[in-house]
Amino acid sequence: MTAVLAFNHATKMRIDVLTLFPEMFPGYLGQSLLKRAIDAGLVDIQIHNIRDWARGKHSQVDDRPFGGGPGMVLRPEPVVECVEEIQGQTPGHLVLLTPQGRKLDQRAVEGLAAHDRLVLICGRYEGVDQRAIDILEPDEISIGDFIVSGGEVAAMVVIDAVVRLVPDVLGDEQSNKQDSFSGDPPLLEFPQYTRPREYRGLNVPEVLVNGNHPEIARWREEQKIERTRQRRADLLSANKPQTD
């Protein structure tokens, strides 16, 4: 079986990913921000193959659903026993990536980032045997109202969003505070511009180049509100105080 690595208390966060397809992750984890965070010891990400906990001569991890129907269902034994061994003496916050879970948004990401350790189960096929869910009682999370082939892509989304909130990962601690969906209410980010000042007849707004930082701050805040009103008015209405 895959060895369970001891939790490294020198890192600020550990994330374990439980998957049937571990080969999907090395390229993703070996690039850009995530690679720098791992190399700097700010986050420890370990990938575990659920098949290592499968039973029988053929190491079967899935089977046909009772009652009939298309597709296959992940058996409970390898999932439960994989989680139990990986959790060990330092259990983390257990997450099952599933379209039936609560929807991932920035507030949910902030909640996940508050944990020292996350354990992500990647669902596959027609889902996980309900008994595994009943036994493990994971936090069920969906990345949106659509279907992807498996939880691996969803796990990557969770990892990327959470790692951005780990202290020192971004370098500039103000960076994620200006991102879309940050703040209260969660507004969209203001439009950004860089050189050249003129391109195909379109100019950078004069306020951004006049050096007046209070004016720039006001303009950006106004743009955030207006852009949110135009594109995601639901974000504003969801944060209005309730009246009798």
Contact (Cβ atoms closer than 8 angstroms) between residue 108 and residue 83: no
- For residues 6-17, b (16+ Cβ closer than 10 Å) or e, as one string? ebeeebbbbbbb
Reported as type and span, the H/E element at residue 96 is strand 93-103
Distance (Å, whole) CA 66 – CA 10:
46
Catalytic residue among 126, 139, 160, 189: 126
Give the contacts of 86 (CB within 8 A, at least 6 positions apart). 4, 16, 18, 48, 119
Establish whether 99 is a catalytic residue.
yes
Dihedral sign computed on CA atoms, order 27, 87, 92, 134: positive
Structure tokens at 203: 């100019």
What's the token pair of residue 142?
A: 């969906």
179 is annotated as an active-site residue? yes
Catalytic entry in 52, 139, 179, 189: 179
Catalytic residue selected from 22, 78, 99, 186: 99
The single residue of 36, 51, 117, 164 carrying the catalytic annotation is 164
Q: Which residue numbers are catalytic?
A: 99, 126, 164, 179
